[in-house]
Structure 1
Amino acid sequence: MTETKISRRNVLLGVGGAAVFTAAGGGAGYAIANTDGKSPEASAAAAPAPAKFRSRPDLRTLPDVTITTPAAATAPGYIYLTPASGTGLWGPLIVDDKGSPVWFRKVPDPATVAIDFKVQQYQNKPVLTWWEGTIGGTGGQGVGQGEFVITDANYREITRVRAAGSEQADQHDFVITPNDTALFWIYDPIPYDLTSAGGPADGVLHDGVLQEIDIRTGRRLFEWRARDHVSLAESYAPLPGGESAHLPYDYFHANSVGLDADGNILISARHTWTTYKINKRTGDVMWRIGGKKSDFTVDEKSKFSWQHDFRRRRDGSYSVFDNGAGVTKEREESRGLIFKIDETARTVSFVSEFLHPSKLSAPTQGSFRELADGGSFIGWGQMPYFTEYAPDGTVRLDGHLPLDNQSYRAYKAEWPGVPLDQPALGLHVDGSNVIVSVSWNGSTKVSKWRARAGGQPGALTQSAEADRTGFETTLTLPGTPEYVVAEALDDTGKVLGTSSAIPVRV
């Protein structure tokens, strides 16, 4: 098990005038105050783009999340996204049902991205997990090289899970099992004779390697290789050609892993249009659904292609995010698909589908998950939308990232976030008032904010309160006190955290 120490750094930014603040890693405590004394013209010329949040100017390029279909009642919990765009501000992001940020952590530079951010259970406690690394690939298909991060409810890193051997973990899925082991994929490029598929004899194949790792020790417990069980003839993906003929052929493209009710393994392979059940003990393929070698007769409405995120649901049915588009376009719209299987009759029968009101087609990525109350939640992958459905299939919440973004998956779940740093505080003087901007990255318990002010840090007799209004809440203090402190309150009025005492300088 490893722990990373969070380094401290001093950063100089302009907020109104120049503003000095101290940042402590991803869950930073910030204190912002007007401190420069330069002319307004000189300060304006030196200042960067306006901050989105006065208390957290470092989040100036955090993408906005728009809710287009709000609902009076939704499943409890927060929404988990990994925005990716040209801004370079990549990282795991939690937002609420109004689209307001709850927690964000920028992943390290250079060129590192975060993927597949979600809540799981480890050692019987809720944790956050995501993948960090770099993504490349051929033919527009993302292949990752990186590792998985696990943090506790205080946002402290518990450990990082790495692949056993010389390879690095792929980003497509990370599942913590009830035995505190981890299941994930590796894309292993190996020399391979591709003549059977029309390629070169000295070609390269991307083998889909599934590993199970004991999280505490890092020991490999299980390994499964696609090439030992799935032939190249099952693939719908074209071979690399021309000058790219010797790049790896991604014939399988594994993109999800999970457990069936009997403990055996469920996987999805996008490029074979097939979902598989794997014997956890022997590694044998127990059955295939879809594709060229399906062991089941699949009814017309249950046929899927270029799919992601194959899961068993609580009622015994199965679900998949049916992209319906990829290298080719097989359907006009992507969808969440639910079907039932009859293992005796070897049939697959349609149960229901979930479409987006705007008839979205997502050629890559995507997720479809069952919610705790029986509803469903879809992340539309390459299309930067997410949608929550009631159990009867009606849309009860819909939203999106900026249209130049995407999020590989999107999830919804409850989360007890309790950051260990201090709340962030930003101050600026407006006429005869002090405007106090407060936030606390990651706290899910704050109901109200209180600003206390006075002539000395130990003599703060003036106060103002306001209900929390999203990531950042603004309070107004009349007059020009010398010092201000912000206090985060829960719904009973208990103080959860207190900022540093910040001087007010005009």
Structure 2
Amino acid sequence: MKHFRSAVAALACLTALATPALAIPTLAAPATAAAASAAAGRTLTLTGTGTTMWPAFSEDVPRYGISTTGSATGTVKITATPAGPGGRVLVNGAPTTGSRTITGLEPGDEISVIFDDDSGRSAYSLIYLPTRFPILERTTPASSAVAPGHVLLSLSDFGVGSPFFETAVDRNGVPVHVHTEWSSAIDFKQQPNGAFTSSRQSAATTGRSGGALVELGEDLEPASVHQTVGRNNTDGHDSIRTTDGRTILLGYEPNSATGKLDAVVQELDSAGNVTLDWNSADHVDIASESVVPATNNDYAHINSVVETADGNLLLSFRHLSAVFKIARRSEDGHQAGDVLWRLGGRTSDFTFPDDALGGPCAQHTASELPNGNILIFDNGSADATRDMCVDPQDRANGTQRRASTRITEYALDEETGAASLISSYDEGGFALFAGGVVQLPNGNRLIGWAAARESVASEVNGQGQRIWSIRDTNTDLTKRLFTYRAASGVLPDNVDPVVSLTLPASVAQGSSTTPAFSCRDNGGSGLADCATTGLNGDRLDTRTPGTHEVAVTATDAAGNTDTATASYVVTKAATIGRPDAMAKASGQRYYTGNNVYGGASKQTVRATLGRMWSKQRATLRITNDASATDRYSLRASASNSRFRVRYLAGTRDVTAQIEAGTLMSPYMRKGQQWTLTVEVTRRAGARRGDYRTFIVAVTSRHEARTRDSAGFRVSAR
């Protein structure tokens, strides 16, 4: 990787020189807290020092990033409002009203927010990102035509001392996985054998240059390392891990005889034995083929390799502005390693009758499509020392400048030697180096724009229409991160969610205790549920003495689960279930029935009603005289033909509930009080001397046999 990094450093300088010619779009600066209200009334807001949530909250967007600066402390506050008055919000599985503060966050940690409200049940995830990970923005509307899976990126500014982010993102640019490397890490992708790999410089062994191909296991941690055999260098531009266990690697090998860097392709079988060791020195005439000055030792610069349908190899050489097809094995009169044809460059075996630009220039990837056509990420060239585009009017010696990047598809006729340009797509940018394009199973094309920083990645359909595109939102184009390439893959969630559950050893019977628990999932699919058993609503069940157990089960969207259980002991209180009901008529100074328990006969207050439709009120007060927290159910007398009654809890009419026996008091601590208003109206049918006693019966939730009553007797005069 040493040679790649040195080339990158030189090209970075050229990028800086070219920057003034590029238009920098005007973007709105990101807010420190992102919030928006969905049509149904949901809101979700994040605040925290040095943090920014993106994109803005929308009910149909399930995943969000939390970008961080150096001032971030790992603490954020989530504020969420459900749709409708009866809605619930769970933050990391725990019921939340208003807001919840999450602490101790590390890069890669996720916060779960689940709404269960009038809009239905929806789960959202927010991932806490490492410092310097960019805010990515989708610049195209949502579309159902996107290919499935994730987009794999290798993000960096390719500067010395800058982080390299291996990340898998969704179509909004929000990561499901991020890994940070501080030495070079490029070409994060999913291989034909299904494994995820990255070319990392940190994996290089002593005495070698370049890096190594690191194959990741199910936990996305390094599982194996692959390097060239008998060579000095393993280059990170490209690699292949096949379904039958073979490994194909690239290398930049010093040639002591010529002083040049030769391009090497090496194939290893499943046992690690070399089965092909191809060297550009044996097949390239530097003087007649290279399009860079003789002072540039990297005369070929290999940067991509793919297997073709017929079992051979397709190689891209940036400094030859040519794509080679070489034989992998000896057959059909060819020896292993023979160049079967050259597409583009000074000695092209094909002409370009309908491509006025004369074929590829300083290209970065070449691949074979299912129909046999060749797809190329054609960078173009505006090198400060030499242009690398071959002049179609003077292929042997001429060059020309083309500071624009395009995606081209050629149909090759090997009999006539014509390469017909089937399509050419560009977005107006110029990738001075790096980049790539791959065709997806649905026929769309995924493009990583690399040094063309106007976009990070795009997906284009077969008609050349952009399906989606994402970009770094930094308003300074020169400081935007870009991806080495973009690849497609399905990143599996093999990480189980984690449940945390803490209970007190013992609680008093009738007490109100909320358990401390949470559910978290960092696997990328998002937390789907945090289910509890053994609770009484959201609190510990303290109605009966003895040992009780609580279980919390977290389930993510991939079906992974984790369960935690804990037990607690409910101790019988000395006095429990002692409601004290008392009443006070309007104008009366003291309550009747204080510390009197049982029936209403000694706990009834009186009032008279004169003219028709006149009203009288009484206040019913309930006091918890027990030694522990309790809650009470209430049942009361209903209206009759002579008197109409209303029961009010504050300003709320609770008549229907109390007459049905379904009204519940709030949880009340020892000594706490709660009041109701009883309002009676004389109806037209009441005659002088008529009376009625409206009785309110109060029953303990913990001991149903313990109750108290109070009454309000009204009479007509």
Superposition TM-score, scaled by structure 1 size: 0.70
Question: In 2, Cα distance between the equivalents of 1:63 and 1:77?
Answer: 21
Find the partner of 2:493 among 417, 427, 450.
417
Question: In 1, Cα distance between the equivalents of 2:201 and 2:564?
Answer: 35
Q: How does 1:280-291 map to 2 (within 5 A)?
A: 280-281=328-329, 282-291=336-345
Q: Note if contact 2:198-2:213 (Cα within 8 Å) is conserved in structure 1.
A: yes
Q: Note if contact 2:378-2:407 (Cα within 8 Å) is conserved in structure 1.
A: yes
Question: In 1, Cα distance between the equivalents of 2:498 and 2:132?
Answer: 20
Find the partner of 1:264 among 301, 312, 318.
312
Q: Note if contact 1:162-1:218 (Cα within 8 Å) is conserved in structure 2.
A: no
Residue type at the aligned position of 1:90: F
Question: In 1, Cα distance between the equivalents of 2:538 and 2:192?
Answer: 41
CA deviation profile, 1:117-162 (whole Å, cap 9, x unmatched): 111232xxx21111111699xxxxxx97111122244435432111
Find the partner of 2:561 among 492, 497, 505.
497
Residue type at the aligned position of 2:268: I
Distance 1:275 1:81, change over 3 A: same
Distance 1:93 1:462, change over 3 A: farther
Distance 1:93 1:364, change over 3 A: same
How many residues align? The count is 399
- Cα deviation for residue 63 of structure 1 reads 2.6
SS of residue in 1 equivalent to 2:139: strand
Indicate yes or no: 2:147 matched with 1:75: yes
Q: How does 1:1-80 map to 2 (within 5 A)?
A: 14-16=73-75, 59-73=130-144, 74-80=146-152
Question: In 2, Cα distance between the equivalents of 1:83 and 1:180?
Answer: 29
Gapped regions of structure 2 (runs ≥ 5): 1-71, 77-91, 93-102, 112-126, 330-335, 388-399, 501-513, 540-549, 567-717
SS of residue in 1 equivalent to 2:164: coil
Question: In 2, Cα distance between the equivalents of 1:77 and 1:497?
Answer: 22
Distance 1:173 1:450, change over 3 A: same
Question: In 2, Cα distance between the equivalents of 1:410 and 1:435?
Answer: 43
CA deviation profile, 1:49-68 (whole Å, cap 9, x unmatched): 99896757673443322211
2:483 corresponds to: 407
1:99 corresponds to: 173
1:324 corresponds to: 380
Distance 1:178 1:48, change over 3 A: closer
Indicate yes or no: 2:441 matched with 1:376: no
- Cα deviation for residue 236 of structure 1 reads 1.0
SS of residue in 2 equivalent to 1:59: coil
Q: Note if contact 1:326-1:364 (Cα within 8 Å) is conserved in structure 2.
A: no
Q: Note if contact 2:166-2:180 (Cα within 8 Å) is conserved in structure 1.
A: yes
Distance 1:395 1:135, change over 3 A: farther
Indicate yes or no: 2:309 matched with 1:237: no
Gapped regions of structure 1 (runs ≥ 5): 1-12, 18-30, 32-46, 137-142, 194-203, 241-247, 426-432, 453-457, 465-482
2:321 corresponds to: 273
- Cα deviation for residue 449 of structure 1 reads 3.9
Question: In 2, Cα distance between the equivalents of 1:236 and 1:130?
Answer: 30
Find the partner of 2:278 among 205, 224, 234.
224
Residue type at the aligned position of 2:306: G
Question: In 2, Cα distance between the equivalents of 1:50 and 1:181?
Answer: 37
1:398 corresponds to: 469
1:488 corresponds to: 555
Distance 1:225 1:52, change over 3 A: closer
CA deviation profile, 1:1-28 (whole Å, cap 9, x unmatched): xxxxxxxxxxxx94349xxxxxxxxxxx
SS of residue in 1 equivalent to 2:452: coil
SS of residue in 2 equivalent to 1:286: strand
Question: In 2, Cα distance between the equivalents of 1:289 and 1:339?
Answer: 10
Greater radius of gyration (CA) = 2
Find the partner of 1:150 among 201, 209, 215.
215
Find the partner of 1:250 among 269, 291, 298.
298
Residue type at the aligned position of 1:339: Y
2:416 corresponds to: 345
Question: In 2, Cα distance between the equivalents of 1:250 and 1:318?
Answer: 25
1:430 corresponds to: none
Distance 1:117 1:191, change over 3 A: same
SS of residue in 1 equivalent to 2:281: helix
Indicate yes or no: 2:186 matched with 1:130: no
SS of residue in 1 equivalent to 2:236: coil
Q: How does 1:293-308 map to 2 (within 5 A)?
A: 293-299=347-353, 300-301=355-356, 303-308=359-364
2:365 corresponds to: 309
1:448 corresponds to: 528
Distance 1:366 1:57, change over 3 A: closer
Question: In 1, Cα distance between the equivalents of 2:431 and 2:381?
Answer: 7
Higher relative contact order (CA 8 A, sep 6+): 1
